[in-house]
Structure 1
């Protein structure tokens, strides 16, 4: 795959950050009372872009953070649909009404990504590592089958060992 330009990475970061923030609005509007995301705690998009411009961090680092946030939202929706499918439907509908787009098309389905990683047997990127880590740490244990849990733990451990070795 060809290496992306800084501008392309910034554009992807901006798109995913907006996707993340728009779904936070929907979770706050339709989600459970015990789950509320204080958006004042989020670093504003403009501050991220300024940080990239001032070389406080790279566009790739910002993109990785946005992907982690979007994956977290997606995993929340997949877990919460078991408790309240109507609320999740309202969140997805609200996202579509606000953006004119489908959330899963914008964000990607984390469950499909996890299946692909498990099938492959290793995490290729830090984004995939954090997605697997989120699944392994899922207390409800509802995101993967019990038979896949040891493999997911091994994938996570192997990635951590490779990262330490570098």
Structure 2
């Protein structure tokens, strides 16, 4: 699985997103809540590490299993949207898309990582799905002293974070240029 560097760096795409029409009605405080919610949603599927530590014998809490399912992402999106709707009066459908989308991005990133894959279609299909050509090398939590492997992960994920930063800035700049010219 990618480390939190890669998962969290997807939030860098939001640099220009706040200027979009979909989020135009949000004030600065609401936008801040949405961005923190996006970051939380991007790393939440890895809660299975904590669940496995609390209940070591439960197979469903193994990494990449139930918590890495698109079905769980959709249900989580309902909770995410409901909470943001109740507390900050944010648009329900938009917030469901944000919560579900960010959770789903995590699942897809783990599918694109070298390793066993994820149970993306649980409960319909319980097999693990992995990319034959991985984009990420992944963190080796079981081998903390394998410095060379961790350096590969760090370099590739910082390159990914740099790409997310550039893409987010590029689209944010294009949106501002479009608004000024229109």
TM-score by length of 1: 0.30
Choose 1 or 2 for highest CA Rg.
2
Which has the larger helix fraction? Answer: 1
